[in-house]
Structure 1
Amino acid sequence: MREGGERAPYGADDSRKLRLIEAITNAGVTDIDVGSGITEAAFVRNVLDAKYLMGRIPERTEFSFNLTLKTWEPLCEQLARNIPREYLKEMYVSIGMIEIDSENKLFERVAERLRSIGVGRLRSSLLNAFSGTVDEDKYAHLNAQIERCRQQGISLIRINDSVGTLLPDATAILAANLVHDNPDITFYLHGHNDRGIGTANSLISVFHGFQMIEGGVAGVGNRAGLAELESIATVFAERGIGVEAAPLDVDKLSAAARLSEEVFLAAPDPYRAVSGFLVENENAGIVNVPDYLGVSRPVDYFLNRIGLFPVYIRQILAEAGADPGMLKDDELIQQVYERLAEHMDGLYERKRAEYDRISADVKAFYADMVRLQDVQTTALEVIRERADAEVATAVGA
């Protein structure tokens, strides 16, 4: 949820985000990273009301709120102002960028500040710019930060592949060593998908000892996204891996993934693994390898020009229970073939024009993002308005 909101160029309204949380928890997810912005503290209050007062979210569900040592002051203020202490003691706050001002023990002071406003549980998020592997210096640095967390009573630590450059073999080594060297810590990987391997890295981290896994439905997250929870749940089901808190429902996770596109105003991805709305469509008219191998799975068949063969027209009619005499009529089969071919050729031309229009509309949709130069422009506008106001005041005087 947090990175979904951070990536969404135009944000998302609270009512839709709450619907998405309900869909995710209904699929069995019990731990949700819910926000990090100044306005999100009020949203967290709404979420916790939905859980504790309305019963719309399962009792077992836990929520965490993120802040970094660059943003902690306004966020602490918002948490204290918007969330009752009885809620604060039940939720997690995750602290990131803990290296900042370490000589003055800023991390330790912020942890104490959070406890003073009533936060009952802390996590930590360790940012890393891995370069494919993990050398001894980076590993030593990680363990030094883990020790600082340990001294604060923090035993739940997220290891961030912050720019998505960690490779699977390095993930295996890193996870196995961290777990071996820190048996009192629960680790989980925050695997970004910049190289297309965030989901693979996250699975490997669990296979090598990490005790939790983090991602997003539809892989929602900054840039190319995070590990896809519905894909991970599918692998878990196939490998007989259980989740201690609650069983995961792949179909419901997939439905939540499609809902997330609507919530965060993301163009639908029809071919996303597991949850894309067209991934269960298969071309019936070519050598269909899964069917040839006897793999049982739900499939919606279609035909296109490449897959159109008279032999498959005959087979499709036969499987539909057509009269044997019809199946022997080669001229009929050829006429059906030619008519379908003509229809498909015309359909392509129409869909080509529609695609060009849709593609242009999607690109135009994302053209209005607030960019860094808008900050400068807005600052200039404010300065000018203040100057004009001062002149007007002077003239009035």
Structure 2
Amino acid sequence: MEKNKMLSVWKANAEGNRFETLKANITTEVAIIGGGITGITTAQLLKQAGLKVAVLEARSVGGGSTAGSTGNIYKVTEFGFDATKTKYDTDVVRQVTTARDEALTLIKQNIQQYAIDCDYKEQPWYLFSSNEANSSKIEKEYEAAKDAGIGISYITQGEVPFTIVNGIKIDGQGQFNPLRYVQQLANAVCDDGCRIFENTTVLSIEEEKGQYIIATNRGKVYAQYVVHATHTPKGRMVDFHSLLGPYREYGVAVKLASGNYPEGIFWGYFNANDRYSVRSYEHEGEKYLMCIGQPHKVGQKEHNEENIANLENFLREHFDVAEVTNRWGGQNYKPADGLPYIGRRSAGSNEFVATGFSTDGLVWGAPLRQL
């Protein structure tokens, strides 16, 4: 398999950037562990609040979970409106969608303010079933959304590039290249008040006399506050780790022979169990069609090449695929109660965590009021 085809479509269409490596011990007000969308956005907001910040990234900014994500940003979560309503109530559905709307607004504001070239495009989000077995799921999602005051409507045959039995949509959602977004946001906010270090791996965190000592492979960082923006918190945090389920999901990008790429974010149930996410992406005139899906719990799939093959076969069944350009996988952690864990590690602690995003990290990672 060609090496470049193993990159996500985001990595294949990003320019990259380089930040310094920590070379000596430093002191700051806030140390943020992780340079993905969560870490860089948190750094931006804390810097705007007047705090001195240092971001510690083990590899490259945006190159981890952010670069393996779907690139879709929307108010709905992976679990859906109905699951949230059933576990909690309609008021929680409203709170979740309000928080995610605020994050979407922040992303759009950043794109405009910093002139970020990340191929952002507003798109409708669709959820549909191609079989009767899952038609009732669509009805439940529609009712839960309506009860929460969310603008949602039914769709008709021909509105999406698939045969449908039942379907709904929400207008005004979005898509972008998340890696380009995070890289350019990092460039925009990095200065003496917001230092960003790549290739700087955190080894341990200790608290001593009201101050945190973060030991890295390159030196130590002394801080008053610590933010874990690392997918899962660093160190032994059994109270969080025991509540997270590690999952993998896969993506492929293809070129179509016809050049006719559908517009929209399409979530579809095509059999009793599988839901695929399909959408188009364009960068500098080059167009791609992507399919994301085939999730499984980590360690429970011996040959994940089969998952990639299933996505490719699905696209070939529904579209005139001329070439597969990208294949990749991404990992996420699903929270036990369906909502992410964002806030202080414990009451009165100056150590903060942001984890349990499931596949919704691009929006949960833009924390306007969550932290």
When the two structures are superposed, what TM-score results if normalisation uses the length of structure 2? 0.25
Higher strand share: 2
* Greater relative contact order (CA < 8 Å, ≥ 6 in sequence): 2
When the two structures are superposed, what TM-score results if normalisation uses the length of structure 1? 0.23
